[in-house]
Amino acid sequence: MMTVPAPIRVGLSTASCYPLGTSAAFRIAAELGYDGVEVMVWNEAASQDPEFLRDLVERWGVPVLSVHAPTLLLTQRVMGNEPWGKVDRSVALARDVGASTVVLHPPFRWQKEYATGFVEGVAQREREHPQIRLAVENMFPWRARGREVQAYLPHWDLRRNHYSHTTLDLSHTATSGSDALALADELGDRLTHIHLADGLGSYKDEHLVPGRGNQPCAELLQHLSRTGFSGDVVVEVGTRRLSDEDRLIDLAEALAFARLHLAIGAGEASAP
């Protein structure tokens, strides 16, 4: 008898609901029918409190699928100033709330000591916590006055270093000018997490609703279903300037887009 793979879960990043807080993101995820939540750790206390997050899981019936470590430029002082300490606290948070994935960015260029040991440091923590995947995210070069600036070490391109688990962000592929399908193919089974968004190639990292940019969002989702992808797809789009009603519309549209194209891929995979 042929084994049918489990449907790919579609989660909602709490960053997609900003400036609303973590509690609101759980409510929205439950109301719209998302399979879970990715918690973006930032300066809101609720995003760092495992007991509070477990209460939200129980109240709204949506699990925490993943935790995004505070490795963004704007969260440099969240969970302390020491980079590995922030990663370790994020891993502990994921473990405490039942999440299987921690998303983290590669180090900034000025974090030289952190960057030097980054690849091995990630691997070491995965050996110490085999139930948690540290999925390093693809980034992009910064642009200033018509020039590209390499802001990340060892590199913004995931293919330059060997990570056991990786996150593919389609807004970042738009900004970097990368071929998202080729990148997914090259990463193979090291691709374990998706940030679903879209972009038109602006240096601003747009995080558009999928289908509104030029990225192969539909094709990638279908590819994931056809090839037995076992990770999660997390919607990470920008709604900061929207009204509450328009935010719900955009997040519902993103979920419907994901469900549709994952189902198309699954149908193709099961066809004789």
pLDDT digits (tens, 9 = 90+) for 61-112: 999 999 999 999 889 889 999 999 999 999 999 999 999 999 999 999 999 9
The kind and range of the H/E element at 235 are strand 232-235
Q: Over range 17-21, report the average pLDDT.
A: 97
pLDDT digits (tens, 9 = 90+) for 118-163: 999 999 999 999 999 999 999 999 887 677 778 899 999 998 889 9
In a domain, 223, yes or no: yes
Compute the average pLDDT of residues 48-52: 98
Cα–Cα distances in angstroms (integers) from residue 199 to residues 130, 180, 186, 207, 263, in the given order: 34, 12, 21, 6, 23
Taking the C-alpha atoms of residue 201 and residue 185, their distance in angstroms, rounded to an integer, is: 21
Q: State the amino acid at position 269 in one-letter form.
A: A
Mean of the pLDDT values across residues 237-250?
A: 98
Assess if residue 79 is contained within a domain: yes
Least confident stretch, 19-23, 37-41, 155-159, 251-255: 155-159
> What is the CATH classification number for the domain harbouring 231?
3.20.20.150
Q: Measure CA 24 to chain center.
A: 19
- For residue 2, pLDDT beyond 50: no
Residue 124 in domain: yes
Q: What is the phi/psi pair of residue 69, to 5°?
A: -60, 150
- What distance in Å separates the CA atoms of residue 247 and residue 222, rounded to the nearest whole number? 26
118: in domain? yes
pLDDT of 203: 84
pTM, full prediction: 0.95
- Nearest one of 18, 40, 19 to 105, comparing CA atoms: 40
Q: Which stretches does DSSP call E strand in 78-165?
A: 101-104, 133-137, 142-144, 147-149
State the CB neighbour count (10 A cutoff) for residue 23.
Answer: 18
Q: What is the number of structural domains in the chain?
A: 1
Q: Does some domain include residue 133?
A: yes
Give the range of the structural domain holding residue 28, as residue numbers without chain letter. 10-270
Q: Are 91 and 55 in contact (CB under 8 A)?
A: no
Q: Look at residue 270 in the predicted model and tell me its pLDDT.
A: 77
Tokens of 3: 């084994």
pLDDT given at position 272: 65
1 within domain boundaries: no
- CB-based contacts of 20-26 (< 8 A; 24+ apart in sequence): 20/247, 21/46, 22/46, 22/47, 22/52, 22/53, 22/56, 23/56, 26/56, 26/57, 26/59, 26/60, 26/62
Q: Please give the share of the chain, as a percent, with pLDDT higher than 90.
A: 87
Does residue 226 form part of some domain? yes
Q: Using one digit for the tens of pLDDT, what is the confidence trace for 169-200?
A: 999 999 999 999 999 999 999 999 999 999 99
* Cα 20 to Cα 183: distance, rounded to the nearest angstrom: 33
Q: Evaluate if residue 4 carries a pLDDT over 60.
A: no
When mean pLDDT is compared across 67-76, 140-149, 201-210, 237-246, the lowest value belongs to 140-149
Average pLDDT taken over every residue of the chain: 94
